Structure 1
Amino acid sequence: MTPLCRRLPTAGAASPFVHIRRQHTSPPAAICDIRRFHQTEQPGFALRVRLRRHLPVLLAEATGHGGAWERSVEGEEEENARPRVGELEPASGRGSVNRTAEVVAAAAVTVVMGVGNRVMYKLALVPLKQYPFFLAQLATIGYVIVYFSILYIRYRTGIVTDEMLSVPKTPFLFVGLLEALGAATGMAAGAMLSGASIPILSQTFLVWQIFLSIVFLGRRYKVNQLLGCFLVTVGVIITVASGSGAGKSLKEAGIFWSLLMIVSFLFQAADTVLKEVIFLDATRKLKGGSLDLFVVNSFGSAFQALFICLLLPFLSRLWGIPFSQLPNYLKDGAACFLNVGTLSSGCDGAPLLPLLFIIVNMGFNISLLHLLKISSAVVSCLASTFAVPISIYVFTLPLPYLGIASSLPTGFLAGAIILIMGLLIYTWTPSNGSSNSSLAAPT
C-alpha cells in the first residue's frame, strides 16, 4: 500500500464523499482510498451504487481527471459482473435453457400427478361410493392439518421466514372463498350432469385462464400460443366426447346446469390467477425473495375449510343429505373409511385407497402450485389438461377394484393427436421472438 493511502473516516455512509471533497485527494490517492474502504469496510449494495455514481463527479471537481477513473471503475464493475466459473448468464444462454428445462420437468411431474389424482379418486370411491361427501370433507380437513404441519417444520428449519409469514392475509381469504365457491357450484352442477360431459365443460377453464391473465396480469399471448390452447381444447373434447354420448347428456341436463358448471370453472380459474398475483406481489415485497409454496397452500386451505363449514347446509343438500342427518352421515362415513363396524362389508379397500387418494391429491396440488409459481396459470392449466386423455387410456388397463376395464372412445387417437399438436404449437417459439421460451413466460 502506497504512502498516499490513508484510513477513510467511517462515521457514516457519506464519509467517503465528504473526505474527497474536503481533502481534494489526487486521483492515485483517491483510488487507493476508495479501494481500501471497499476492502475493509465492505459497504452494502446501496453504498457501492453511490460510490460508482458520485466518484467521477467528485474527482472531476477535485482534479479535473474524472474520466479515466470513471472508465477504471466501470471496467472493474463489468469484470465483477461477469459470471464466475460454474455460474450462468442470467438473461440468455444456459440460464434460459435451464429455466425452460425446469418448467418442462415441473410440467411433466404435474401431468403424472394429475393422472394419478384422477385414477386414485376413482379407486377411492370404490369403498366410499356411498360417502363421496365425507371423502371431500375429510380431504379438506386433512389438507389443513398436513399443510400447516409442513409449514411449521419448514419454519423451524429456516426455509420459511418471518417475512414470508407477515405477507397480507387478505388475498388468502379470497383464495379460500373462490375455492369454496368453485367446489359448491361444481358439486351442484356435477350432481345433475353426466360424467362424460364434465371433462368437456372443464375445457372452459383454459379459456377463463387466458381471459383473466390478460385482464388482471396484463399478459399478452402470441398467435401460436392462442392457437395451441384452442387445439388443446378441441383435442380434449374430441377425446372425451367420441362415443360417449356427451352431447346428448348435455342437452338432457339443460342449459342451466351446464352454465353453472362453467361458472364453477370461472371460480377455479380466478383462484389460480389470484395465486399467481400473490407470488408476483410477494417477490416485490420480499425484495426478490420467493414466497414458499406452503404459505400459500396452508392459509388458502384454512380459509377454504372455513367457508366450506359455512356452506355445509347448502353442500349437504346438494348431495341429498338433510342437514339434520349430517352428523349420522359423517359418522357412518368414518366407520366405512376405517373399515370397522356393521358397514364394513361394502368398504373393501378402505382406508388404504382413500388415504392414497388424499396423498396423491396433495402431491398434485403442490406440483401444480409449483408449476404456477415458476411459469404461469395457463401453462399449469395446460399440464393439468394433458392429464385428461392419459387418464382415459389408463382406465382401459386392468386396474384393481374397478372390475372390467373400459374401452377407448372411437375418436381417442384423433383427439390425442390434435391435443399434442396444440401443445407443440403453444411451446413453439418463432425465430424472431423476443423471449427464449414461450413456455416459461407468455408475452
Structure 2
Amino acid sequence: MAAASSSSRTSDLDKLLLRPGHLVGPTFEPGTQLRDDLGEYARILVVGAGGLGCELLKDLALSGFRNLEVIDMDTIELSNLNRQFLFRPEDVGQPKAQVAAKRVMERVSGVNIAPHFCRIEDKELDFYSDFSIIVLGLDSIEARSYINAVACGFLEYDSNDEPVEETVKPMVDGGTEGFKGHARVILPGTTPCFECTIWLFPPQVKFPLCTLAETPRTAAHCIEYAHIIKWDEVHSGKSFDPDNPEHMQWVYSEAVKKAELFGIPGVTYSLTQGVVKNIIPAIASTNAIISAACALETLKIASGCSKTLSNYLTYNGVEGLHTKVTEFVRVKDCLVCGPGIFMELDTSLTLKEFINQLEEHPKLLMSGASVRVGGKNLYMAAPPLLEEMTRSNLGLTLYELMDKSPAGVVHVTGMAGKGDKRQSCLRKLRVAFKAVGITDTNMAAA
C-alpha cells in the first residue's frame, strides 16, 4: 500500500489544531505552528510495550508526536502475538521495547522512538524529568505506583500550598481487564494521583496456606504453593525476584509438579507470571479503545486543543457498550502527591542514622533506602558499584550533605510496607533542621 501524503495524514489532526472552538484550553493558539511544535518539542514517554503499549506507540505517532521513547523490561513470548500486533513469530525472545519502536518507525515516517530495555527502577529520576508527558500502558499495580511516585516527586508547592505549574508532570494512565478498561488523566497536585484512588483496584486474592499445601483445587493454588511455600523450603531465606526469569521458571516447574500430583490442569508459564506478579489480563479490542482515549488525552494536554478528561473514564464492553466519566477528588494529605512527609531533624544526624529512622517511621517503614537531594545521589543502596561510590557519605551529617540548607526536599527509594504488602516505592520528604528554626508551618515559605 502506498504511503499517504503528508496533507492527508494530518487532515484529521488539523481539524483539532488549526481552528478555534468553545472547549479549548486557555493557552490554545490554533495554527500550523502548533502542529509543528508538537512534533518538534513535545517529548512523550510510553511506559510498557505490551498490548496497550503497542497501541499507544502507534496512536501517538499518528497523532503528530515525533519524539517518543518507550521503556519495558520484558521480552516477547509466543502468547503475546494474539494481541500485541507489532510483534511477529520471528521476534519471540527479543526485547519488546526495541521491536515495538522499530516496527512503528518502519510504518510512520518522521517519527523517532528511542527504546529502553530495562526495569523502570533502573532509570535515574532525571531520566523521567525530561519528558513533557508520561503515558502508562502497564499491567501491574506496583509499576503504576512507582511511576506515579516518580512523577509526583517532581511536584513543588508554593507558600500557599498550591502546585507550581512548571513542576507538574502530567500522566495519562490506561488499563484493561478483559472487555473492561479505563483511561485517566493525572495532573499531580490538581487531580487525584494513582495513590489517592488505590482503592479502585481490588486487593490481590490470598489463599489459606493449608489449602495451598494440602488441598489445592485450581492452577492458581498450585502456583501460589510453589511461590509462597516451596520456594522458602528449598532456598532457605533467599529472596524471590519476580523479575528474574530463572526464578519465575523455577516456580512454574514446581507448580506443574504440584498440579500433576493432584490432577489439576491449566498451569502455564503465562498464568504463573500473572498470579505471582498480579498481572491484569487484556484483549486486543479493549486495548485499542483505551489506547485511543489515552492518545487523545495526551494530545489535549500537549496542545490545549480541548479540555482534558475530568478525570476518570471507564469502558465496559461485556454486554453492549457503556462508557462513563467520573470526577474523583484528590486526597489533600496524600503521601505521594501532597507536599510530602515532614521530618524535623537534628543537624548532627548522620546519613546512616537518617536511613535507620526511615525503617522506624510509621508512615514509611522503608528498608534498603537510597537517598537523593536534587540531582545528587547521597546514597544508593544498589547496584553494588553505586553503593560503593556513595558509601562514604553514610558517616557525614545530612545537614552537611544538603549544603547546610535549613530545609529542603529529600527523595528516598526503597522497599516500604509490612509483610506481603511490601513493595518498591519512592517517597518525598520535607526535611527541616531544628537548630536552624524551620518548622512545619513555615516550611513552604522556606
TM bucket, shorter chain: under 0.3
Which structure has more strand as a fraction of its residues? 2
Which structure has more helix as a fraction of its residues? 1
TM-score, reference length from structure 1: 0.23
For CA contacts below 8 A with separation 6 or more, give which structure has more relative contact order.
1
TM-score, reference length from structure 2: 0.23
Larger radius of gyration: 1
